[in-house]
Amino acid sequence: MTWKRLFGPMTGRIVFVFGITVVVGTLASAVDNLDALVPGLIVGGAWTAAGAKRGLPIFATSRDRRAAADQIRTRRRILLASLPILVALGFTVLPRVPHRMMGTAFMLVALVAAVPFCVLALTECPRCHRHIAVGTGPSAPLVPFTRCVHCGEKLIGGTG
């Protein structure tokens, strides 16, 4: 996995320390609040990694513009396909989960859509090579993931 550097060393240290604090706090309170363990480690771990790397992972696309558009379209379809699965799990699994483990169950169910969402948002723009949907730019799209927010590159191929 490659990482895109987005902020300076001082911000990186602050983000890293925040992440470590969340992880340590989660572990320290796990005896009393086991339900917070999984969400705390995922969220804290993500902040720690972003701080250590001073940025976010970036998921590469092909050098070929048309192949890159196909890759992005596939990632959009995976995200769209995950949404009914998310809803189905929400209605079938969550009502059966004991209240004391609801935080863990909610986090794990949310990952069904959160992972494909993050992969798509952290996809590399084939033109400007920045994240297609992280940050703001002149081309912030009305429909997410159809254009790069930075350079306006059309990401869905075809017409339009």
- Cβ-contact 65, 102 below 8 angstroms: no
Residue closer to Zn ion, measured from CB, 107 or 118: 118
* Shortest Å distance, C-beta 68 to Zn ion: 11
Give the pair of three-digit tokens for residue 19: 């992440």
147 near Zn ion, judged by CB under 5 A? no
Residue closer to Zn ion, measured from CB, 40 or 126: 126
- Closest to 148 measured CA to CA, from 118, 112, 124, 119: 124
69 near Zn ion, judged by CB under 5 A? no
131 near Zn ion, judged by CB under 5 A? no
Chain position carrying tokens 């972003």: 50
- Contact string 77-116 vs Zn ion (x = CB under 5 A): ----------------------------------------
Find residue 55's DSSP bridge partners.
5
Instruction: Candidates 86, 89, 108, 128: give the one binding Zn ion (CB under 5 A).
Output: 128
User: What Å distances lie between residue 153 and 45, 61, 69, 125, CA to CA?
Assistant: 32, 13, 10, 8
157 phi/psi in degrees, rounded to 5: 70, -170
Residue closer to Zn ion, measured from CB, 26 or 131: 131
Spatial distance between the Cα atoms of 87 and 109, rounded to a whole number of angstroms: 9
Chain position carrying tokens 């790397």: 53
Instruction: Candidates 30, 42, 151, 156: give the one binding Zn ion (CB under 5 A).
Output: 151
153 near Zn ion, judged by CB under 5 A? yes
Which residues neighbour 73 within 8 Å (Cβ) at sequence distance 6 or greater? 156, 157
Instruction: Candidates 122, 125, 133, 155: give the one binding Zn ion (CB under 5 A).
Output: 125
148 near Zn ion, judged by CB under 5 A? yes
Residues that bind Zn ion (CB under 5 A): 125, 127-128, 148, 150-151, 153
